[in-house]
Structure 1
């Protein structure tokens, strides 16, 4: 079957996804967007109590199922404290370093639905006032949100509707360059989500019959460790997490191929299934790298920890500067799309 990958359509969807705020725990809007896409495609799906969406395409084999997952939740923060000067202290949502969001524009999402703009800064930012502006530790005590409203005390901030527990999202700054790079926060894992939705759409447009009933699990709690560890159909034999490849010193992954993970901090992925994915790339001349991610976990590893008896594997586009100002290339998205198509249209391993 011919691989049909509409790069422009995928990028357009990716832009909509990353520009929809969705820190873990605050994902209703982005999951509504996912449901709208699936309604338009015409694929049946269910919603879980935790807010995830699971779409299903029936296949020739209805006894041995496959499941592929990507996640829409992102890094973010919550209001920890309203300071006496009206600024905000934050509590992290997800694993990142404070320096990765220093200087970033943000939104405070109030309980009433109002959004208030702000900037995440060091308290000691002004070099004309603070001698240690460059050396002070970037930590929870020193980082704060400067609110873009005329407030000078905690009462003024509360009058805006801002309270402890409100979510704070980071501006993505989405950009596509003429050289084919996609730059944005939250490519982890909205790039993979866009790829899965594009795969579903292209399979429906082709009228493809899959060899196995296949579920597409769009999870919304991966960044806090348990996004895809429930609601897995009992018939599932193979579980694929479609998530970012980690790039850096000593890593094989890059921004131009699909990255297949052999092992992460949870341990090795299923050896035979990983070899099957490598074989598909070799047979169909899909550019790939095999890698180990030292400080990483996925929805597939969460499912294994939860006790599900499945073969698990992980692959996806290579993402530079993960959990910060991320970047990938169209080549990596294309290679990932090719492996996704090759996998779901091939017969399951014996």
Structure 2
């Protein structure tokens, strides 16, 4: 037996990315995960930050493991209602304005009403603006064009839209015949889908884990503090399951599991990293070791918070991170296989 639920993971991932969940507004997607865990009869609870913790009992309850993946995504907030009836936005998470130019979006009011729009440059029309291609993509020049008949700020406010309303981006999710999934928010809903399928597999196959294991579905990772609390005193190992970033000088690809050796927070635990490599090699799991210079994870946030844990980071390789992302079913499968064997491995500290 190993992780063999790639198709089911893709379908679950498609559902997850289709639920808007920018950091700060994740209740709907957390409810979705709660429903999933309730159906498979896995113990779970919310923390005060709005994240979710599922627990599988293990043979040894004196030492615990924790795995985490985050369900919050990049997004924005309404910064200003302009006199023209368009909206200025403020970004949630670390990405660039150019990556959302031309994107469809949804605005959710505090009363729960939802409106659609498009994120555009103010100087979009080349028939009017000579500098349409040269103007900087920034907060001053980019705005939301609402799909409503509004001409001024008063008419926008009459809809119930106000400063502080959340803006989410259309994921445009698509699964290709060649085995790719391309969508916004694969960071980190790809890993959430993998963990949920793993929990289901362990439950259905009645696999006895060596240690009591917690799964934290965090909801504030994109803003730096999703996984830095609710770690039991018995927790020895803390493994963040997040994306592997691709680009020049990187070894990560879309077909293997990425094992991070270092990011902006510094090196990850050396002994855990070596054990993950041994597990991958012993079980025919395709993997790559990599360093992410502009990256932090829930595991590094936990370390910064002072927790006395062994920390690691792995995940599927994601192309074009924090933009329009893509990965392949091979990467999902290799990540799931490594996690399957990791959950059943001994810690030996």
**For residues 190-205 of structure 1, what are the structure 2 equivalents within 5 Å?**
190-205=189-204
Q: 1:335 aligns to what?
A: 334
Where in structure 2 are there 5+ consecutive unaligned residues?
A: none
Q: 2:168 aligns to what?
A: 169
Q: Secondary structure at the match of 2:134?
A: coil
* Deviation for aligned residue 1:299: 0.1
* Deviation for aligned residue 1:32: 0.4
Alpha-carbon distance between aligned partners in 2 of 1:221 and 1:34, rounded to the nearest angstrom:
16
Post-superposition CA distance 1:184-227 (Å, at most 9, x none): 00000000000000000000010000011100000000000000
Q: 2:128 aligns to what?
A: 129
* Deviation for aligned residue 1:149: 0.4
8 Å CA contact 1:286–1:338 kept in 2: the answer is yes
Count how many residue pairs are aligned between Structure 1 and Structure 2.
Answer: 349
Measured on the aligned residues, the alpha-carbon RMSD in Å equals 0.6
* Deviation for aligned residue 1:41: 1.1
* Deviation for aligned residue 1:5: 2.3
Alpha-carbon distance between aligned partners in 2 of 1:349 and 1:105, rounded to the nearest angstrom:
50
Alpha-carbon distance between aligned partners in 1 of 2:348 and 2:251, rounded to the nearest angstrom:
26
Q: 1:3 aligns to what?
A: 2
Q: Secondary structure at the match of 1:191?
A: helix
8 Å CA contact 2:257–2:331 kept in 1: the answer is yes
Q: 2:109 aligns to what?
A: 110
8 Å CA contact 2:3–2:333 kept in 1: the answer is no
* Deviation for aligned residue 1:60: 0.7
Alpha-carbon distance between aligned partners in 1 of 2:107 and 2:281, rounded to the nearest angstrom:
47
* Deviation for aligned residue 1:4: 3.7
Alpha-carbon distance between aligned partners in 2 of 1:4 and 1:40, rounded to the nearest angstrom:
20
**For residues 313-324 of structure 1, what are the structure 2 equivalents within 5 Å?**
313-324=312-323
Alpha-carbon distance between aligned partners in 1 of 2:3 and 2:233, rounded to the nearest angstrom:
31
Q: 1:139 aligns to what?
A: 138
Q: Secondary structure at the match of 1:25?
A: coil
Q: 2:99 aligns to what?
A: 100
* Deviation for aligned residue 1:240: 0.1
Post-superposition CA distance 1:140-199 (Å, at most 9, x none): 000100000000100111111100000000000000000000000000000000000000
Task: List structure 1 segments (4+ residues) > 6 angstroms apart after TM superposition.
Answer: none
Q: Normalising by structure 1, report the TM-score.
A: 0.99
Where in structure 1 are there 5+ consecutive unaligned residues?
A: none
* Deviation for aligned residue 1:349: 2.9
Are positions 1:219 and 2:218 aligned together? yes
**For residues 241-320 of structure 1, what are the structure 2 equivalents within 5 Å?**
241-320=240-319
Q: Secondary structure at the match of 1:69?
A: strand
Post-superposition CA distance 1:51-110 (Å, at most 9, x none): 011100010111111000000000000000000000000000001000000000000001
8 Å CA contact 1:86–1:151 kept in 2: the answer is yes
Q: 2:232 aligns to what?
A: 233
Q: Secondary structure at the match of 1:61?
A: strand
8 Å CA contact 1:5–1:202 kept in 2: the answer is no
* Deviation for aligned residue 1:122: 0.4
Alpha-carbon distance between aligned partners in 2 of 1:12 and 1:175, rounded to the nearest angstrom:
11
Alpha-carbon distance between aligned partners in 2 of 1:325 and 1:92, rounded to the nearest angstrom:
16
Alpha-carbon distance between aligned partners in 1 of 2:189 and 2:197, rounded to the nearest angstrom:
12
